[in-house]
Structure 1
Amino acid sequence: MGKYVLAIDCGTQSLRGLIFDKNGKLLVKVKREFNPYYSVEPGWAEQDPNVYWNSLCEVCRQIKEDEKDVFNEIDRVVVTTQRDSCVLLGKNGEIIRPAILWMDQRKIEKPRDMTLYHKLTITTVGMMTTAKNFSLNCNAHWIQDYEPENWKKTHKYLQISGFLNYKLTHEFKDSIASQIGHIPFNYKHFRWEGKRGQKSQIFHIEREKLCDLVAPGGVIGYVVDEATNETGLKKGIPVIAGGSDKGCETLGVGCFDNYTASISLGSNASIQTTSRKYYEALRFICPFPAVIPKAYNPEIQIYRGYWMISWFKKEFAQKEVTQAKELNIAPEELLNKRLNDIPPGCDGLVFQPYWGAGAKRPEGKGAIIGFDDYHTRIHIYRAIIEGIGFGLFEGLQYIQKKSKINIQKIMVSGGGSQSDAICQITADLFNKPVYRVQTYETSGLGAAIVGYVSKGEYNSFDEAVKNMVHLKDEFLPNPANVQVYKNIYDNIYSKVYNKLKPLYKQMQK
């Protein structure tokens, strides 16, 4: 038996092959970047699924070439990927059409019908508008309406994780903890919804087109000959059910309960906790299945979160982009060094980060208010960082209210967490200590934890986390900055949406 677990982390902009040892030390990292998506029509976001598979193959072959001894000791593979992105496969595993990604904005014209009983019950709790929006935004519905020939050819409707698992094992299986999206999944009971269940009334996807589900830590299948030829991985290595990138991040930072929050400062920013009890932080918005079996991740997300930084770089930061190329560093490093040039509150500039229709705020838009002639592009940059933070802080309030537990500390991960300045802003804005662990690759670490538990290296996830997750950096709140942010949140930010909502509705028309 080999020593190591290979974690495959497929994000929106890159795929990484990561090998951690049983103590949580990152031994190997190989990364392949790709364009996040392409748009055939405005608002569409599609990708050729082979981009992900080819990247996985390239990463594995590179690890084998660079670290042959470590590569030969791999005896588990665990996949973690971006969420709510669909891949359609035929009976023989052929790709039917490009993947539709989580940031895609296409909609059908009319929501799917549901039984009178469900109409009455959903209307009674005041959530019919939300249910209709879920149905309108379901990618499967769009394919059914506009590409019926493709839907007819579809044997399995998969998440990206399910696609990569299939390519490795030729099994149409995926982890329970990866089923996050516009699909008929029963989040309370960790299974596909029954034919007359509420989710099946909202998302009309035939049961036979859905994959078989495996609990996190269970065996999806074993690496097949074809995958061996393309990746270099040994035939027969077990592929283990992992979880979504956010769920693996939450495990990878050691967030085990409702007293700790995991904040992901990635392309889709989010705040999660881990709970053994089912509760909805926002009414009708289910907690997601955690990577810890039979546990939940109540979550609030800021749609397109730190993707906004990519937008800012493209539109306002060509100077830093050019300098960064010369210095062979990321442009964010140069931008983040300038964050402390701007005071907390950005001299009165406030950003509302609703860059995309959320489930509870379907008409929401992004807004920046408070401009004056002394504001610079770096003010805008810091305002974006703070605005995402305010949105996540609002999410914290929802989670604490529903769980009836006061969160004590914040664990951060994702691209934004690499910046000390952003971590300090987070500590000041939340008025709570913020911690980073030993690696920025927390999704991969979470996936590796699943792998080591599955191979019997640890008897429980709790034991694995104690041995593999190590606190590295601490950021404590600055009382003066805390007061600035409290005043802005209470008196300005928390009121912006309701003030602008009528205008957003007019703009939608």
Structure 2
Amino acid sequence: MAEQYLLGVDSGSQSTKVYIFNKKGDVVCSESAPIKPLVARKPGYAEHPDDDLWDSLKAVLQKVMTSFTGNPKDIVGLGLCTIRCCRVFMKADGMLAAPVMSWMDVRSYERFEDDPQIAYTSPTSGYTTFRLTGEFKDTAANAFQWQFPIDLDSWDWSKDEECFSSFGIPKEKLMALEMPGTILGYVTEQAAAETGLPVGLPVVATANDKAVEALGSGIVDKTSGLISLGTYIASMVFGEENRKDPAHYWTNLSCIPHKYLYESSGIRRGMWHISWLKSIIGEEYAQQAAREGLSVEDRLAREAQQVPAGSDGLLTVPDWLAPADQLYRKGMMIGFDERHTRGHIYRSIIEGIAMTLKGHYDSMIEELGIKPDRIIISGGGSNSDLIMQIFADMYGVKTVRNEMNGAAALGSAICVAVATGVYSGFEEAVENMVRVRDVYEPDSRNHKIYNKIDTGIYRDLPKMMKPILQTAYEACQ
């Protein structure tokens, strides 16, 4: 029997990544490309320029199909994972009626204002599905509950007229919804010419990007938590029911039909905080790292390894992107003295990310009454031994790094495996395709230090600094 290959797409906020896997979850080949910087025509706006998301996907698909040495006929399907919480307006012919609004754009969450030019409004997954298949269909699990009238119990458009009308979206301007792990359509001749994909290749529904990442990380029960280290950082646990009105988390649709993810509050701009430090650290430092055969992150990590837990009292609150309705909020670094070096700053940023998220995670699992015995960490940050150990020490449980930390692409491929019958269900696919690579045990001494900082001052720091930041913001206007 010929080998079966699964194509997984991970279209993110900073880049487009495409992987081809075999049915064991091994990477056969992969390609990626950055997307263009967002455009802010007005305060609060954040648009993807031109048709960049589609153009980027086309280019990466062409590259991966060129590098693939197998028989394209043995690729059984394409799983499509795109950025959640974006908003797309489409004309009747399926083309863009306006630039795609990023999840960071305030308009993405505003009530829909009808326009004759707009024939459909959808997340990016619906638009990309059309470009690949010509079908006006989308996954139910990427219809964000604060943007679209989705019923989280039925996984379909709400039949509550009051709920539906509150969004202002005419029913005929919404796409037909399909479950994750089902076929949305097939690659058209035009899409094949633009991407290099085989004509007729099945395009499979996945979910919102965090849910696809959770599936690709192996989150299929309550024994594990997940921390997703991306442009937006959040923690998640598996759920069986739509829990309404929780206090310390929200209920998200899973990548497994009629299952759920409970998701904590998160950190906007997430791992970008590290990118910010790299951008100001200087070209000379980058050149020195290159001469040593290191990336900038690796060199910073080497310096940070020499810094004790707690960074000698240097505390960072990672809040570099203020919400549109709280523009006074700012990130903070406090506690500098003559001991502090680049390594301290780097470690303090990581500790600030881990500690901020731990507060959210603890509140969530306490409300749920669960205590996962391990935390899976996914995303590019999980490549760092330093980050993995800091999270283990901070949370006081073992942290796990899987063989494939590009979990969203793997989750997309798992959906393909289910939709095309490679595996009988999601659990079987996860068992065969997701594997642990490394486990990090917590250091009890460091855990005590972090816990003392966290409960003693850190959790109250944003509240304590609020009036100071408000005054500073007002003074600078």
TM-score, with length taken from structure 1 = 0.86
In the TM superposition, residue 438 of structure 1 has moved relative to its aligned partner by: 0.9
The residue type equivalent to 1:183 in the other structure is Q
Tell me whether 1:60 sits opposite 2:61 in the alignment. Answer: yes
- Structure 1 residues 378 and 299, CA gap change in structure 2 (3 angstroms): same
SS of equivalent residue, structure 1 residue 380? helix
Structure 2 equivalent of residue 170 of structure 1: 134
State whether structure 2 residue 385 is matched by structure 1 residue 420.
yes
Q: Structure 1, residues 277-332: CA drift from partner, whole Å, max 9, x if none?
A: 22368539631100011011111221111111122211235344344566786432
Structure 2 gaps, min length 5: none
In structure 1, the residue matched to 2:425 is: 460
Q: Which residue of 2 aligns with 1:48?
A: 49
Unaligned ranges ≥5, structure 1 = 108-136
Contact 2:252 2:262 in 1 (8 A): yes
Q: Secondary structure at the match of 1:153?
A: coil
Distance 1:256 1:34 in 2: 31
Alignment partner, residue 225 of structure 1: 189
* 8 Å Cα contact 1:344/1:481 also seen in 2: yes
- Between 288-297 and 48-57, the greater mean CA deviation after superposition: 48-57
- Alpha-carbon distance between aligned partners in 2 of 1:13 and 1:228, rounded to the nearest angstrom: 25
Which letter does structure 2 place at the counterpart of 1:100? M
Which amino acid in structure 1 is aligned with residue 359 of structure 2? E
2:9 is matched with 8
Per the TM alignment, residue 56 of structure 1 is displaced from its structure 2 partner at its CA by 1.8
Aligned: 1:138 with 2:109: yes
Q: Which of the residues 240, 256, 274 maps onto 1:276?
A: 240
Structure 2 equivalent of residue 101 of structure 1 = 102
- The aligned counterpart of 2:276 is 311
Deviation at 1:103, TM superposition (A): 2.1
Q: How does 1:260-275 map to 2 (within 5 A)?
A: 260-275=224-239
CA distance in 2, matches of 1:449, 1:72: 19
Give matches, 1:488-499, under 5 Å.
Answer: 488-499=453-464
Q: Using the alignment, how far apart are the partners of 2:47 and 2:330 within structure 1? A: 22
1:286 aligns to 2:237 (yes or no): no
Alignment-mate amino acid for residue 128 of structure 2 = L
Alpha-carbon spacing, 1:506–1:324, altered in 2? closer, same or farther (3 Å)? same
- 1:153 alignment partner in structure 2: 117
Change (3 A) 1:430 1:281: farther
CA contact (8 A) 2:248 2:360 kept: no
Return the alpha-carbon distance in structure 2 between the equivalents of residues 280 and 330 of structure 1: 45
SS at match of 1:274: strand
Q: Find the aligned partners of 1:238 and 1:464 in 2 and give their Cα distance.
A: 18
Residue of structure 1 in register with 2:21 after alignment: 20
Aligned residue number for residue 339 of structure 1: 304
- Is the CA contact 2:140–2:178 (under 8 Å) kept in the aligned structure 1? yes
Q: Note closer, same or farther for the CA distance 1:377–1:44 as it changes in structure 2 (3 Å cut).
A: farther
Is the 1:344–1:485 Cα contact (8 Å) retained in structure 2? yes
Provide, for residues 225-276 of structure 1, a one-character-per-residue CA deviation record: whole Å limited to 9, x for no partner.
1101111212111111012221111111111122210111111111011111
TM-superposed deviation, 1:43:
4.3
Change (3 A) 1:233 1:487: same
2:179 paired residue among 215, 218, 222? 215
Equivalence for 1:482: 447
CA distance in 1, matches of 2:183, 2:273: 37
Alpha-carbon distance change, 447 to 413 in structure 1, aligned in 2, over 3 angstroms: same
1:249 corresponds to which of 213, 218, 240: 213
- The reply on whether 1:240 has 2:204 as its aligned counterpart is yes
Q: Which amino acid aligns with 1:292?
A: I
Query: Helix, strand or coil: the match of 1:12?
Result: coil
- Summarize the alignment of residues 375-414 of structure 1 with structure 2, pairs less than 5 Å apart: 375-414=340-379
Superposition deviation, residue 456 in structure 1: 1.1
Query: 1:176, 1:87 → 2: CA distance?
Result: 16
Contact map agreement 2:10 2:82 (CA 8 A) in 1: yes
Q: Provide the C-alpha distance between the structure 1 equivalents of 2:90 and 2:452, rounded to a whole number of angstroms.
A: 52
* Partners of 1:254 and 1:276 in 2: CA distance: 16
TM-score (norm 2): 0.92
Structure 1 position 341, deviation (Å):
2.2
Q: What does residue 260 of structure 2 align with?
A: 296
Query: Considering only aligned residues, what root-mean-square deviation do their CA atoms show, in Å?
Result: 2.5
How far has the Cα of 1:139 moved from its partner? 4.7
444-453 or 184-193, which deviates more: 184-193
Instruction: State the distance in 2 between where 1:279 and 1:317 align.
Output: 48
Check 1:416–1:304 CA distance in 2 against 1; reply closer, same or farther (3 A cut).
same
CA distance in 2, matches of 1:391, 1:199: 35
Provide the C-alpha distance between the structure 2 equivalents of 1:473 and 1:199, rounded to a whole number of angstroms: 46
Contact between 2:7 and 2:78, CA under 8 Å: does it hold in 1? yes
Cα-to-partner distance string for 1:426-448 (whole Å, 9 max, x where unaligned): 00000000011111211111111
- 1:6 Cα deviation (Å)? 0.8
Question: 1:341-393: per-residue Cα shift (whole Å, max 9, x none)?
Answer: 22111111111223345699886432222222332233222111111111211
Q: Judging changes above 3 Å, is the alpha-carbon distance between structure 1 residues 436 and 51 closer, same or farther for their aligned structure 2 residues?
A: same
Percent of aligned positions that are identical: 32
- The structural deviation recorded for 1:486 is 0.4
Aligned to 2:403: 438
CA separation of 1:326/1:255 partners in 2, compared to 1, >3 Å: closer, same or farther?
same
Match of 2:33 in 1: 32
